[in-house]
């Protein structure tokens, strides 16, 4: 499993309640005394006769958690032995018993099971399921966002577990990454029902973590299971994008933003997030509980089926409502504990400023992002998707209806005129069997790849005063294509490895566990054959043509729509424009896509970082015989072209026109690749 913890690590369930926790932290209630009979760290304490203590795995504010064996059943369990200062207070014990009665109702594979509360041999203890694994927070901190496929799988399990709790009438009230555990099998378990309780009508008790509180919780208004759905939306935002929906210097600052600011669209933060998932997350984060999903079951369905979040089913996001500002002012006036009193003026100022900004943003509404996305990609498939979801968008809908037939005509012409590269030629389609069942719908390629639409055009390839293999400079005409914005990342390559079992690349010399610990950096140590295998896998998975760029396509893309440039950005020194020999780090040599500004087409790291495989065979004399239209390189050869230069090269290797080659079996920590997609010409389409 990704991020599997060492055997000694165990997520601790800490039983807390806001009021009780404050009392426990006060010096007169909870002095810093050791656990009775605990001894030093290397000495295991005595324990209730029923349990054999195996090891200590965690310490919390209320006690110590041990890995233990139940002598009666033989099971390995987690045993929380409470501190004497807590165990000796009847009101605390009664509170814990009430919490346990509720938590024990939940028997679900995605919820950590609570077994028993016992008081014997001078100890008060809670026994629970022992979960070997790691918290979701630790995994997110190490890897950033999950792949879309994995995130959807984990989100489904979270919804299953939380849904079971809600079905029992229990609201968790403290949903956050720290309270989810991923076990050795990759399954999620919901932890810590210490804050949860059977929700009573009109409950307004403020508990939870401020940076994951729903607005109604922070404002001490009544709430229900939809407060959990809001918090889950914040967790999903992090899982899919690798970033928090709201950022601030303190948890209180984050809570303020959640009351008064609209969240960012997840798709704008991480463009590989599918639009329908972005809409589902935003619906979770609605300020008004009435506008959220009414159940986690609805949310779970929306993450899988994009029709659940189309405009017909997705509520219109309201303008900033004065109700939230009024509620906060009312709470301050009534001296309710929405926020610490000393922050009163800051709270009011922040909310007022946020209201003005949000109002102006709403007022200056532009064309919807789906329309802009369809314009950028400009494919028949994308326009049809827009029409399906936004048919009532007036003049935008009419524009889409006019553009789709035009592209259909162009696609027929392209299919007839453009040959595919020899090494990536798609297999012939099988005859259609009208009696056969309909093919299973393939996943959308946008869940994994963020691409730029490169328009067709003419450019001058080569360099008049360059090396011999870059001469003669000649005119080339190319059809349009789509290219990934950056090199294929470790995260994307891991998806390929997980689904195919393809051999894993070795770590580069500059970083251990590179593939797992640096998901957003470009994959390295991949040969031409490895890159080709990736393309064939993606073609089959998504039902589109995925291939390496031709050498001509790569150079045209690197120029970014400009003429006669030395580098993708112009003629300036690469010192602040690309990762190369003169500015390479002493630690990890490669960089993420946003480390430097993109070129004119919006492509990142076309020069430096890693050299990139092209589909062409290499020949030093090819330019003298290259065809004018869509050249694909020599028909045969011993080496393949690489382009762009790497972190180990000097600035002369970074020029757009500079050519190089490698053996197709070679692997190096300076070699990676990016891909070209042809979604409007899927392989096998008649």
Residues 412-437: pLDDT tens digits?
433 433 444 433 333 333 333 334 44
What does the H/E/C string look like for 457-497?
Answer: EEEEECCCCCCHHHCCCEEEEECCEEEECCCCEHHHHHHHH
> In this structure, which topology does domain 18-129 adopt according to CATH?
Phosphorylase Kinase; domain 1 (3.30.200)
Element (H, E) at 65: strand 63-70
Task: Quick: pLDDT tens for 158-183.
Answer: 999 999 988 888 888 889 998 898 88
pLDDT of residue 47: 60
Q: Which phi-psi region, left, alpha or beta, contains residue 177 (left: φ > 0; alpha: ψ -120 to 50)?
A: alpha
Helix 369-377 with 275-284: angle, nearest 10 deg: 170
d(CA 199, CA 179): 20
Which residues does the annotation mark as catalytic? 174
d(CA 232, CA 221): 19
| Mean of per-residue pLDDT scores for the chain | 75
Please work out, in degrees rounded to the nearest 5, the angle formed at the alpha carbon of residue 296 by the alpha carbons of 294 and 301.
100
pLDDT of residue 61: 59
Name the band, by pLDDT with cuts 50, 70 and 90, for residue 403: low
Phi and psi, residue 583, nearest 5°: -125, 20
pLDDT of residue 242: 86
Identify whether the C-beta of residue 618 lies closer than 8 Å to the C-beta of residue 500: no
Length of the chain: 686
Task: Quick: pLDDT tens for 50-103.
Answer: 888 898 877 765 678 888 998 888 889 988 888 887 777 777 777 777 767 777
Name the band, by pLDDT with cuts 50, 70 and 90, for residue 306: low
Phi and psi, residue 217, nearest 5°: -70, -45
Strand partners, 296: none
pLDDT of residue 518: 93
Joined tokens for residue 84: 């004497």
565-579: average pLDDT: 94
111-135: average pLDDT: 83
User: Lowest mean pLDDT: which of 116-120, 140-144, 310-314?
Assistant: 310-314
Phi and psi, residue 328, nearest 5°: -65, -45
**Alpha helices (H) along 131-173:** 136-143, 148-167
Between the alpha carbon of residue 454 and those of residues 191, 382, 554, 645, the distances in Å are: 48, 15, 11, 22
Between the alpha carbon of residue 2 and those of residues 11, 495, 503, 522, 633, the distances in Å are: 16, 12, 17, 18, 40
d(CA 666, CA 681): 31
Domain 135-363, CATH number (from 3.40.50.720, 1.20.1560.10, 2.10.260.10, 1.10.510.10):
1.10.510.10
Identify whether the C-beta of residue 477 lies closer than 8 Å to the C-beta of residue 628: yes
Joined tokens for residue 481: 């294509």
Three-state secondary structure call for residue 674: coil
Element (H, E) at 267: helix 266-269
Between the alpha carbon of residue 48 and those of residues 45, 71, 151, 169, 575, the distances in Å are: 10, 10, 41, 33, 66
Identify whether the C-beta of residue 614 lies closer than 8 Å to the C-beta of residue 642: yes
359-386: average pLDDT: 51
Between the CA atoms of 328, 176, 288 and 297, what dihedral angle is there, to the nearest 10 degrees?
-160
| Strand-pair category, 481-484 with 676-678 | antiparallel
What is the pTM for the complete model shown? 0.44
Q: Pick the residue with more confidence: 489 or 125?
A: 489
Does residue 319 have a pLDDT over 50?
no
Joined tokens for residue 386: 């827009």
Among residues 447, 492, 156, 489, which one has the least CA distance to residue 273? 447
Question: 450-678 in CATH: which number?
Answer: 3.90.1580.10
With a pLDDT cut of 70, the percent of the chain lying above it is 69
Joined tokens for residue 218: 């922070």
- Positive or negative CA dihedral for 483, 489, 491, 496? positive
233-246: average pLDDT: 91
Element (H, E) at 678: strand 676-678
In the chain, where are the structural domains located?
A: 18-129, 135-363, 378-417, 450-678
């Amino acid at each position: 499993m990704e991020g599997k913890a060492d055997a000694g690590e165990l997520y601790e369930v800490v039983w807390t309640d806001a009021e009780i926790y404050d009392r426990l932290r006060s010096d007169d209630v909870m002095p810093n005394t050791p656990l009775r009979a605990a001894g030093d760290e290397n000495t295991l304490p005595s324990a209730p006769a029923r349990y054999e203590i195996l090891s200590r795995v965690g310490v919390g504010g209320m006690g110590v958690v041990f890995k233990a064996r139940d002598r009666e059943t033989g099971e390995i369990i987690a045993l929380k032995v409470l501190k004497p200062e807590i165990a000796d207070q009847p009101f605390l014990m009664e509170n814990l018993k009430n919490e346990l009665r509720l938590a024990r109702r939940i028997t679900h594979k995605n919820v950590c099971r609570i077994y028993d509360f016992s008081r014997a041999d001078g100890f008060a203890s809670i026994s629970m399921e022992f979960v070997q694994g790691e918290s979701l927070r630790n995994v997110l901190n190490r890897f950033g966002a999950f792949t879309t496929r994995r995130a959807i799988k984990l989100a489904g399990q979270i919804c299953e577990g939380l849904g079971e709790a809600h079905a029992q009438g229990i609201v968790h009230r403290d949903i956050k990454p720290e309270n989810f555990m991923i076990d050795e099998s990759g399954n999620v378990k919901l932890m810590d029902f210490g804050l949860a309780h059977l929700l009573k009508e009109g409950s307004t008790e403020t508990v939870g973590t401020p940076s994951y509180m729903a607005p109604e919780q922070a404002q001490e208004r009544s709430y229900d299971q939809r407060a959990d759905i809001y918090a889950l939306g914040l967790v999903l935002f992090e899982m899919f994008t690798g970033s928090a929906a709201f950022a601030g210097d303190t948890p209180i600052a984050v809570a303020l933003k959640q009351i008064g600011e609209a969240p960012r669209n997840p798709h704008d933060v991480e463009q590989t997030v599918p639009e329908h998932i972005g809409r589902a997350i935003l619906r979770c984060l609605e300020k008004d509980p009435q506008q959220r999903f009414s159940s986690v079951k609805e949310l779970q369905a929306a993450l899988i089926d994009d029709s659940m979040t189309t405009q017909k089913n997705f509520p219109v996001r309201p303008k900033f409502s004065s109700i939230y500002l009024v509620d906060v002012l009312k709470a301050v006036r009534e001296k309710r504990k929405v926020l610490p009193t000393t922050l009163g003026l800051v709270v009011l100022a922040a909310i007022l400023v946020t209201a003005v900004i949000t109002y102006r943003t709403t007022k200056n509404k532009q064309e919807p992002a789906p329309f802009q996305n369809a314009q950028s990609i400009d494919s028949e498939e994308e326009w049809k998707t827009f029409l399906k979801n936004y048919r009532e968008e007036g003049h935008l809908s009419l524009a889409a209806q006019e553009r789709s037939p035009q592209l259909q005509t162009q696609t027929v012409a392209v299919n007839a005129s453009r040959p595919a590269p020899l090494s990536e030629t798609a297999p012939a389609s099988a005859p259609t069997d009208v009696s056969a069942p309909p093919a299973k719908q393939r996943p959308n390629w946008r869940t994994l790849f963020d691409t730029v639409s490169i328009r067709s055009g003419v450019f001058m390839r080569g360099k008049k005063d360059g090396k011999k293999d870059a001469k003669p400079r000649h005119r080339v005409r190319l059809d349009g294509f789509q290219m990934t914005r950056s090199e294929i990342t470790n995260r994307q390559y891991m998806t390929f490895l997980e689904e195919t079992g393809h051999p894993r690349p070795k770590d580069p010399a500059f970083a251990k566990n590179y593939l797992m610990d640096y998901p957003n950096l470009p994959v390295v140590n991949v040969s031409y054959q490895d890159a080709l295998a990736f393309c064939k896998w993606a073609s089959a998975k998504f039902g589109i043509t995925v291939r390496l760029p031709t050498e001509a396509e790569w150079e045209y893309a690197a120029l970014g729509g400009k003429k006669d440039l030395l580098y993708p950005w112009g003629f300036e020194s690469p010192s602040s424009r690309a990762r190369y020999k003169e500015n390479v780090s002493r630690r990890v040599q490669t960089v993420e896509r946003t480390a430097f500004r993109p070129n004119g087409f919006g492509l990142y790291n076309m020069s430096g970082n890693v050299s990139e495989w092209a589909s062409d065979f290499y020949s030093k004399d090819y330019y003298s015989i290259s065809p004018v239209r869509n050249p694909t390189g020599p028909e045969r050869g011993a080496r393949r072209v690489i382009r762009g230069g790497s972190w180990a090269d000097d600035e002369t290797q970074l020029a757009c026109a500079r050519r190089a080659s490698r053996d197709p079996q070679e692997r190096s920590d300076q070699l990676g690749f990016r891909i070209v997609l042809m979604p409007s010409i899927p392989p096998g389409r008649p």
